[in-house]
Every structure is written in structure tokens, then in C-alpha cells.
Chain A
């Protein structure tokens, strides 16, 4: 008779890693941080129709409470140094979503003198979303991709 079968139905068994990862991926708090028109879609995604809150994602007003930063918009060189600072203020483990063409590669403003050509020149990116701007569904999908990534991680022992 296995140990599992001896327990009542109300007891679940799992590994510590899975439990920790489940709690982490179910509370991905993102930094409330928008740069350009993608930020409008980001607000829509937080709103009632797309509703990121149902995945446990809520916006935080400080990088110190955030697990995730969504780079939503055109990054000017002036802002790039600030984004680096915000990213460094976030506690580990932290994730980055690059939202939209501007954040991926500079996009429409790639040949402007003042625009950073892709946020991956400053900070490591986990998920890139194409689009100009991406729809809220795409942003939701990217959040699910981050969750899938967290599921595979070893959190307790690295």
C-alpha cells in the first residue's frame, strides 16, 4: 500500500520546488511602468476585459515589490539609464517582458538619434512580444509564457 493511497482525499502531495514555483507564478507582480502607446495596451490588459489579475498579476508602484517589468514602449536613451536603475532595484528572481517593436528593436524609431534600439542592450529579456502595439491577448500570452518558464525553474536549490 503506497503512502499516497493511505492519505485522505483532502491531502495533496507535491515537491517543495513545485509548491514554491506555483506560488511564485501565481503572484507575478509587475512594475506599473509604461513608456509610450504600448502602455495604453498594458492598461487595457490590467483592465476588466483582459484582466491580468485573474493570473495573480497586479501592478506595483515600486520596483522593490515587483517580480516582473514590462517594457511597454519606445525607450529613449535618456530613459534607458533609468530603466537600468529600476531593473537593478528589483529583487531576484526577476523577469522582463519586452512589449512591442520599439522595445524589441527600436521599431519605427530605430533610426532616430535619441532612441535605444532594443531593451536587450540594457537588461536581459525573457519574452519578446511582436506588434505595434501588441493586443492585450498577446501580453496575456506572454505572461503565461513567463509562468511556464517559472514552472521549470529550480528555486530552492540553484
Chain B
């Protein structure tokens, strides 16, 4: 299916959850409501017309007022691709997990939690994946202040 066909299928099936559609992007995407994520994702995976059996990539994006999760889906059965975005509020960045639908999402979501600070509700093991467990803050947020100290180490240099 083309992205246009997938979008119209989604818009028919989930009229309340599909918020936006951008066919002009290089990878055309839909934006869906956070609460609708589990239903839409389950449908995209299990419906034989879409059959997105593989979560290619999941990334977090800081859009300023909102935080965004981008899902790149791929279907080995049909060899087609699709992009889904979910936007969450910055002061309460909760998004339902996709880890129960695609197991590969577990580490992707841990990474997005680690670096952007998105809370994936229902994730079985939401810990930091790269930074130390005692790290403060989420470094890829635009308002992140770089630390000068860590674990008693003064990381400043004379030429700062």
C-alpha cells in the first residue's frame, strides 16, 4: 500500500485518533493522539492489509513545546513503509508503550527515555540504557544544562 492508502485506511478506522497528515514530507507521516497509540499500532501490525511486522526505528524529538515520538514501520510481507508520530506535552510527556506490540521497541523506548525523557507508560523495564543510572536530566532536550560535575569529578577545564 502507498502511504496515502494507509492514511485513508487509518482515517476511516480511527477517525478520532488521527490528528494530522503530511503527504509532502519525504517520509509521509500521520500524527496520532497519544491515548490512541496502542489501538492504532495494534491495528497496523495485525491488519493483513498493512501487516507492519517490524518496527524499523523509534526516536524521540524535542519540538520545544511538545515532545514527539517517531515510529518508522516496515512490513516484510508487503515491503511497504510508514511513519507514525505521537506528540506529548512537555510538562507531562507520557506516551503508551509500543513494547508490548513490537518487542524491539523496548530498547528504543529506553533510549528515548534516557535522552529525551519521554515516559513510556506500560513499558516492562523503563531504565536508562546508555547513561549511568544516577545521571540527572535528559541531555538531548533543548533546555538541558550541561553538567560541570559528575560523581565527584570536576569536569571543568582552564580554557572554559
Chain A residues close to B by CB (< 8 Å)? 77-78, 80-81, 105-106, 110-111, 113-114, 116-118, 121-122
A63 vs chain B, min Cβ distance (A): 20
Closest-CB distance, A8 to chain B (whole angstroms): 59
Flag whether B151 is at the interface (Cβ < 8 A): yes
Which of A105, A111, A113, A121 is the one whose CB lies under 8 Å from B153? A121
Contact B155 A116 (CB under 8 A): yes
Interface residue B132 (Cβ < 8 Å from any Cβ of A):
yes
A15 to B144, CA, bound (A): 61
Q: Is B150 an interface residue (CB 8 A)?
A: yes
11 pairs from A and B in contact (CB 8 Å cutoff): A77-B151, A77-B155, A78-B132, A81-B151, A110-B157, A113-B139, A113-B144, A113-B147, A116-B153, A117-B157, A121-B154
Q: Are B155 and A121 in contact (CB under 8 A)?
A: yes
Size category, B interface: 10 to 19
Rounded to whole angstroms, the CA-CA distance of A1 and B29 in the bound complex is: 98
C-alpha spacing A110/B146, complex, angstroms: 12
- Which secondary structure characterizes the binding site on chain B? loop
* C-alpha gap A115/B71 in the complex (Å): 29
Once A77-B151, A78-B132, A81-B151 are accepted as A-B contacts, the answer to whether A118 and B146 lie under 8 Å apart by CB is no
Tell me whether B157 and A77 are in contact (CB under 8 A).
no
Cα separation A80 to B139 with both chains bound (whole Å): 18
B154 contacts across to A, CB distance below 8 A: 121
Contact across chains for A105 and B144 when beta carbons are under 8 A apart:
no
Q: Quick check: B157 and A113 within 8 Å, CB to CB?
A: no
Measured CA separation A154–B159 after assembly (Å):
37
Residues of B contacting A105 in the complex (Cβ-Cβ under 8 angstroms): 157
Tell me, yes or no, whether B131 is within 8 Å of chain A by CB.
yes
Complex Cα distance, B147 from A116, in Å, reads 11
B152 to chain A, nearest CB (A): 9
Q: Point out the residues of chain B lying under 8 angstroms from A78, CB to CB.
A: 131-132
Q: From residue 94 to 143 of chain B, which have CB atoms closer than 8 A to chain A?
A: 131-132, 139
Which chain B residues border A114 with CB–CB below 8 Å? 131, 139
Do A113 and B151 touch across chains, with their CB atoms under 8 A apart? Answer: no
Most buried by B among A80, A110, A114: A114
Is there contact, CB below 8 Å, between A77 and B144? Answer: no
B-side contacts of A81, CB under 8 Å: 132, 151
Q: Assuming the A-B contacts A78-B132, A113-B146, are A118 and B153 also in contact, with contact meaning beta carbons closer than 8 angstroms in the complex? A: no
Give the docked Cα–Cα distance between A106 and B155 (Å).
Answer: 10
Residues of chain A with a CB closer than 8 A to B153's CB: 77, 80, 116, 121-122
